[in-house]
């Protein structure tokens, strides 16, 4: 599903963000990527989403390799990997339904399918009744649910979440976490970056990768396969 082979990432100003990181996230797994701020969590997710390419090593995601995937074909990967962010990144001035429908429209979903599918996705994340609400009218937790519904629009294999509960209160955090587990229960792999120890404690059955200063220092269920 997702495999990092001796991945190193250097930035010109910031220096080394990841240092020889290797791991393998299997199909249908739920894993946390944890560590202090600046430990390389977001960099790892960016590399998996191929917003950046490794300086050294290789990232493989569902058959796509960072070494060979061209910018021109990046869209193929992006449709297989859903992504949610701490700051939601929803389109302001649009309803929840329009935000989800927008993704379907720009990725070439047939017109007839767009509205019913967007509505179904919002119902899946528990926002069916609020589909017509403008995003600024929704609470933080609800906005994150819209973002998750949007990330699921293309039926991805894996969902990447970069601190999705970072801006949420405890109740909203629980709701979003329950939702992510529901999604994972249907077979989708989830890789979530978080530094929230309370979240890690509550979901102790999940696999955990810990990063420290760009190095992978802990893997709760290391793969026996040779990388």
Partner 1 sequence: MYALREAIAAFRRAPVLTGLSSAMVGLALFVVGLFSLAAHNLELALAAIEERVEVVVYLRDDARQSEIDLLLEELSRFEEVRLVTYVSKRDALERARSELPEFGELFMDAEVNPLPQSLEVEIRSGESSLEVVSRIAESAEGYPFVEDSQYGREWVDRLFALRRIGFASTAVLGGAFGLVAALIIGAALRIAIFARREEILVMRLVGATSGFILRPFLLEGALAGLGGALIAWAITYGTYRGVYAYLFEIAWVPGWWVGVGLLAGGLFGAISSGFAIRRHLREV
Footprint of partner 1 on this chain (CB under 8 A)?
Answer: 49, 71-72, 74-79, 83, 89, 91-92, 102-103, 105-108, 150-151, 153-154
Nearer to partner 1, 153 or 216 (CB): 153
Angle, CA of 139, 181 and 116, to the nearest 5°: 65
Closest approach of partner 1 to the CB of residue 187, in Å: 20
Residue that has been written with the tokens 């530094």 in this structure:
195
Cβ atoms within 10 Å of 110's Cβ, excluding its own: 8
Q: Which residues contact 78 (CB under 8 A, 6 or more apart)?
A: 49, 50
Nearer to partner 1, 75 or 218 (CB): 75
Residue that has been written with the tokens 């999940």 in this structure:
206
- Determine which helix (DSSP H) or strand (DSSP E) holds 192, and give its type and residue range: strand 189-194
Nearer to partner 1, 138 or 206 (CB): 138
DSSP 47: H
Nearer to partner 1, 55 or 107 (CB): 107
Closest approach of partner 1 to the CB of residue 72, in Å: 7
Closest approach of partner 1 to the CB of residue 188, in Å: 16
Closest approach of partner 1 to the CB of residue 186, in Å: 20
């Amino acid at each position: 599903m997702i495999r990092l082979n001796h991945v190193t990432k250097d930035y010109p100003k910031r220096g080394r963000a990841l240092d020889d990181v290797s791991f393998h996230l299997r199909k249908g797994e739920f894993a946390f990527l944890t560590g202090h701020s600046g430990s390389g969590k977001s960099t790892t997710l960016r590399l998996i989403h191929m917003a950046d390419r490794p300086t050294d090593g290789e990232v493989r995601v569902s058959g796509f390799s960072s070494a060979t995937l061209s910018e021109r074909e990046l869209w193929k990967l992006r449709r297989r990997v859903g992504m949610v962010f701490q700051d939601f990144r929803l389109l302001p001035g649009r309803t929840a339904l329009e935000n989800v429908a927008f993704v379907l429209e720009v990725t070439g979903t047939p017109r007839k399918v767009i509205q019913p599918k967007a509505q179904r996705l919002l119902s899946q994340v528990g926002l069916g009744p609020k589909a017509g609400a403008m995003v600024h009218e929704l609470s933080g937790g609800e906005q994150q649910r819209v973002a998750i519904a949007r990330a699921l629009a293309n039926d991805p294999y894996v969902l990447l979440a970069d601190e999705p509960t970072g801006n949420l209160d405890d109740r909203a955090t629980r709701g979003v976490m329950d939702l992510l587990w529901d999604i994972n229960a249907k077979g989708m792999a989830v890789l979530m970056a978080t530094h929230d120890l309370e979240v890690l404690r509550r979901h102790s059955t999940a696999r955990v990768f810990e990063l420290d200063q760009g190095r992978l220092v802990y893997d709760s269920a290391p793969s026996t396969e040779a990388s």
